[in-house]
Each structure stands twice: as structure tokens, then as C-alpha cells.
Amino acid sequence: MRIKANDIQIHYELSGKGGSAIVVLSHSLASSLIMWTPQMDALNPHFQTLRYDMRGHGESGVTPAPYTLELLAEDVIGLLDALGIDQVHFVGLSIGGMIGQSLALNHVHRLRSLVLCDTASIIPREAQPIWQERIDKTIQNGMEAQVDETMERWFTPAFLKQGSPMLEIIRKQILDTSVQGYIGCAEAIRKLNYLDRLSEIKLPTLIMVGEDDPGTPVSASEAMHERISNSKLVILPSARHLSNIEQAKAFNEILLNFLKDQ
């Protein structure tokens, strides 16, 4: 399904138990709503699940870079408004979790709870050259330049060797991401700086992170947990960045228990 929201076409899928509370799932950079496939069978019997492709990704509209996290959060609000949805549980991974923080800080009345997965609240100055290098490589060589190193950051070597069908799906998602969409969202990520405002968030908050995540390490989740008073931190063993895929069973059980309590 597609709908016009915040001046772009947003691709989304709404599934699950009609009449129940709505859970929004927001994916990582260089992915799409398909990233959440391992969560569908767990969530749909209990909730309505709203997945969407963020600006510049999947089948949603692409606009010229750069983007901001505030713009990407407004896309979510526009989608909810277009669908006539008032309040949601919001689950975001990586940049999706950064969007979740923006929503909790600027549109808190639209959220029932917040789940922040494998994400961070600030990009330190020393990390800026890394993001500039990724942007430059993508401009010069396209998304092919990002595939191998991204897969290595997202999954442990042991999981990569297992040959899960999701691995090829995720690899294809990276390749299919538009260059403008990737750069637009990368520019939004590198300006992330919500750390000093996190104490404003009073929502019930679950923070989950893969124990071996190199991109948004456990220390980043601990910093969020320290500042969000009503938060719970769970560290998932044997997982890197896409912990929802690598440790889907544990991820789903923890997520479902949290959402059912709200």
C-alpha cells in the first residue's frame, strides 16, 4: 500500500489483529520494511503491525539529500495522520531508533511506548570522518561499495556462515537502496545529538542491543538507559547490529512481553 504523507508517497503494510493496539516498526539505514519479517508471526496475533519504508528507501519516495531526523519523524506523523491513527507503540532499530527518539521528544502525545533497538543518541565528533567516507564511497561507486562491510557490521561471522535466507534478502535491500536515500539518511544520522535531552522522555521505554554490535555499541544503549528514567535495558548475546534477525526468537519474546505490559 502507498499513501501521500508529508509530501511524499510512503509505502507501508498494515497487518495483524484488527481493533488492537498498533505497533509501528521503523527499519535501519539501507533496508526496508522487509527487515521486520522475523517479527511478524510474533506480533500479528496480538497487535496491528504497521511497517513502512522510510524516505529514500524501499518503495517510498526519494527526495534530494540531505534529510534530518526531524523530517523523518514528520514522515511518521504524516503517515499516522493519513491513516487516521492517533497513538502507537513505536519500535525503531538503528536510524529507526533515532527517529523514535525524535518522536518521543517532539511528538510524545502520539506514542504509547518506545522501543529503541541497536541505536544511539549522539554521533561523536570522532565518528564524523567515518560517515563522510561512507557518503563519499557511495557517491563514487554506488551502493555496491557498502554491501560487504555493512553485512559484516550487521551480523556476526557465525551467523553469516549459517546462510540464513534473510541474509540474501538484506544484501539485496542494501543494493536496492537509492544513493540519494542512503546519503540523505546518512546525513541525518551524522547530526544526531539527543543525548542531553533524553531525560525529557518519560514514556515506558525498552532498549535492546546486540552484545557485539560495533556500530551502536552496548555503551550507547547504556547511556540512553541512564538518562531515560522509565527504561529497561536488555543486551542480546551473540548478535551484532540487526539483532532482530540474528536473535529473532529472544528479540521477539522480550519485545512481546514489553508491549503486552503497556
**Do residues 204 and 116 lie in contact, with contact meaning Cβ atoms separated by under 8 Å?**
no
User: Residue 193 CA to chain centroid, in angstroms?
Assistant: 16
pLDDT value for 159: 98
Instruction: Give the C-alpha separation, 43 to 16, whole Å.
Output: 7
Q: Helix H segments across the chain?
A: 37-43, 69-83, 95-106, 128-141, 147-154, 157-162, 165-176, 179-190, 218-227, 243-246, 248-261
User: Cα dist. 244→26, 60, 236 in Å?
Assistant: 12, 22, 10
Report the CATH number at residue 116. 3.40.50.1820
User: Cα dist. 148→98, 154, 185, 197 in Å?
Assistant: 24, 10, 19, 35
For residue 232, what is its C-alpha cell? 529497561
For residue 247, what is its C-alpha cell? 536473535
pLDDT value for 111: 98
**Do residues 28 and 19 lie in contact, with contact meaning Cβ atoms separated by under 8 Å?**
no
For residue 197, what is its C-alpha cell? 535531552
pLDDT value for 106: 98
pLDDT value for 51: 98
pTM across the whole model:
0.98
**Do residues 199 and 227 lie in contact, with contact meaning Cβ atoms separated by under 8 Å?**
yes
Q: What residue numbers bound the domain in which 241 lies?
A: 2-261
Q: How many structural domains are present in the chain?
A: 1
Tell me 63's DSSP state.
Answer: -
Angle between helices 128-141 and 179-190 (to 10 degrees): 170
pLDDT value for 158: 97
Is 174 in a helix, a strand, or coil?
helix
- The label of the residue with cell 531508533 reads 97
pLDDT value for 49: 98
Instruction: Give the C-alpha separation, 61 to 54, whole Å.
Output: 8
pLDDT value for 161: 97
161 residue type, one letter: K
Q: Which residues contact 147 (CB under 8 A, 6 or more apart)?
A: 171, 174, 175
pLDDT tens for each residue of the chain, 262 residues long: 999 999 999 999 999 999 999 999 999 999 999 999 999 999 999 999 999 999 999 999 999 999 999 999 999 999 999 999 999 999 999 999 999 999 999 999 999 999 999 999 999 999 999 999 999 999 999 999 999 999 999 999 999 999 999 999 999 999 999 999 999 999 999 999 999 999 999 999 999 999 999 999 999 999 999 999 999 999 999 999 999 999 999 999 999 999 999 9
Q: What is the CA radius of gyration of the chain?
A: 17
Cis peptide before 237 (omega within 30 of 0): no
Instruction: Give the C-alpha separation, 91 to 107, whole Å.
Output: 15
